[in-house]
Structure formats: structure tokens, C-alpha cells
Amino acid sequence: MRDALGEDVPIMGGSSDDNSVLGEWRQISKDGGTNIFVGKPKVSENGIAIAICWSSCQTATTLVSGFRKTAFKGIVTQVDTNDHGRTILQIDGKTPMEVYNKWTQGKITKGVGWKDDVANVLGPSSFCPLGEPCNDEYVRVMHPAFLNRSSGALTTFADAHDGMKVVLLEASPETLAKKISQAASGLIAKNDCDDEGTKFALESCIGALMIFCGGLVMAIDDHMPMAVEQLASTVGHTNTMGICCFGEQGMNHERKAIHGNLMFGCLLFSNAERQIERTRSSTGPSIQD
């Protein structure tokens, strides 16, 4: 998508999920660009649904997490290249199971069930996942999914690579719930607009689209009513729609599209018209946004 659209076009979305984490996810979409020339709904089990939108107003977007970095950190020294880097084989030259179990003081494997030497650790890792520190403040979260007892390998829902820094993260349900509204507040400027044009004033906000990690929403279920109220207050009680997904895509601190887990994405719409620069090329007229 970045190759086709360019680095500056915001990308926001997530992977399909279901209500019971049973792998029964589906994708529903229609082909076409208008209400007139559009096909019948199609359902797939292993597809991609994409909507390309041209906004006439200014927007601001971000993808953040509600986790804190701990003192436990290391370097990925080997990944399984046949698994697109999602299975980590070594951290600091040791098995991830040994390292991760030590970092979490055994919490990650306590009480888990093993089948064919593989354990599902999605639940116990929800509040102590791994993260890739991108700078002092920004972290891309990686949700550990499976541990292999025989090999010590760790499979996550996000890509890793040799030489990548990883850190143990932590959070409580309360702080994660608050971070949902903080994701939106980070796009609200004190003045009409910031220097980079990536924020706008609260009174200019006319709507918001939020994406939430579905697994995290289930984990903090009792705190979601509070999170929704805080979010509504942050965006001035304007129109808001939320989507729960497994695996989140959005724009990081450098306004680059990334994929992470257990994260929150926010897209705000303003009442200010988007400025369009019209240029003419040798092959004819064109519009550059």
C-alpha cells in the first residue's frame, strides 16, 4: 500500500477478528466506487478489505499504546525467516522462553496449558507484552501469542528481525483505558493548528474514527464504559465510531505507517477545508494533495 499510495498518505486499520478468538474471522466488502456502480457483498476468510478515501477536510491521525517500558530489555539475535519474522528464536543468544519467563518472574507460563509442547500465552501476556522502542517515548507493541516448550521459541502477532531491540512492557487495565482518550487528546492542539499541520483545535473537531485492539478490549472489559465516556469528552462529544481488530495499522511518531498489537489508533476530522495544490504537468493537469 505504501508503494502504491506513497509514504505521506495515512493508513489506518487492523486485522480481522471474532468475538471468541476461535479463528472464525471474516472479511465483508463490496466492489465499486459509488452507490450506483457497486457489486454485491462478498465474504472471504482469508482476504483483505480496503477503502480508499479522499477527504475534503483536514485530518490528524496517530497510533499509540498505553504501556510503560520496564528495565528488562534485550536484542533479538535470531528469528525464523520462514515465518516472516514473527517467531523469535533467540534474545541475547538465549531462548525467548527462558528470557521472557525470567523477565515476567514466571507469570507468562504459570497455569498455561500445553498441547504438543505449545502453549497459548495471549491471555497472560496481555498486560506484559514485548515492545520495540522506536525512540525515548514511542514503542511499537508486539503481542506474544505462542511459546514452544521444546525449542523455547516465541511467536508474536507482529514482525521482528535480527538486531531489533525489545523491551518488556507493563500496564494496568486502568491506565490502558485512559490511554484510549489520550490517543485522541494527543491530536488536539492548544491553538488552531500546530506548525506541522498534524493537530487542530477541539472546536474544529467534527468526528473521530478509533481502532482498538480487540484482545485488549476484552481484557479491560469492565473499564470500557469509562474509556468511552473519556473519549467522548476528549473529542467534544462529536460523532465517533470505533472498530475492534486483531493487529493494528496506523501512523507512528514519524508519520510512517506501521503494524503493531495491543495499540490504539485515532483519526480526527476537522471542519477546516483541506488545502489542495493544483499543478499542471507536461502530460496534462493534475492535483497534488
pLDDT in tens, 112-124: 999 999 999 988 9
Residue 285 covered by a domain: no
Residues 153 and 185 in one domain: no
Residues 184 and 200 in one domain: yes
Instruction: Give the total number of structural domains in the chain.
Output: 2
Here the cell at position 30 is: 463490496
- Among the ranges given (7-16, 26-35, 108-117), the one the predictor scored with the smallest mean pLDDT: 26-35
Average pLDDT, the chain: 86
Residues 186 and 253 in one domain: yes
- Quote the pLDDT of residue 192: 53
- Quote the pLDDT of residue 58: 87
Residues 6+ apart with CB under 8 A from 222: 173
Final residue of a structural domain among 146, 170, 194:
170
Residue 286 covered by a domain: no
Residue 288 covered by a domain: no
* Residue 220: band (very low, low, confident or very high) from pLDDT cuts 50, 70, 90: confident
> How far is 25 from 20, CA to CA, in rounded Å?
10
Residues 74 and 200 in one domain: no
* Residue 142: band (very low, low, confident or very high) from pLDDT cuts 50, 70, 90: very high
Q: At 218, is the secondary structure helix, strand, or coil?
A: helix
Residues 155 and 182 in one domain: no
- Quote the pLDDT of residue 286: 38
- Quote the pLDDT of residue 193: 52
Neighbours of 204 (CB within 10 A): 20
Q: Are residues 258 and 252 in contact, defined by beta-carbon separation less than 8 angstroms?
A: yes
> How far is 74 from 98, CA to CA, in rounded Å?
13
Residues 164 and 240 in one domain: no
Residues 186 and 57 in one domain: yes
Residues 6+ apart with CB under 8 A from 32: 38, 39
Final residue of a structural domain among 127, 146, 170:
170
Comparison of pLDDT for 220 and 77, the residue scoring more: 77
Residues 150 and 195 in one domain: no
Residues 34 and 78 in one domain: no
Residues 214 and 91 in one domain: no
Residue 253 covered by a domain: yes
Q: Report how far apart, in Å, the C-alpha atoms of 150 and of each of 3, 98, 130, 177 are.
A: 40, 12, 21, 37
Comparison of pLDDT for 32 and 106, the residue scoring more: 106
pLDDT in tens, 180-214: 888 888 888 765 554 445 788 888 899 999 999 98
Residues 97 and 161 in one domain: yes
Final residue of a structural domain among 170, 189, 212:
170
Residues 77 and 160 in one domain: yes
**Domain interval for residue 255:** 2-16+25-66+172-273
Residue 279 covered by a domain: no
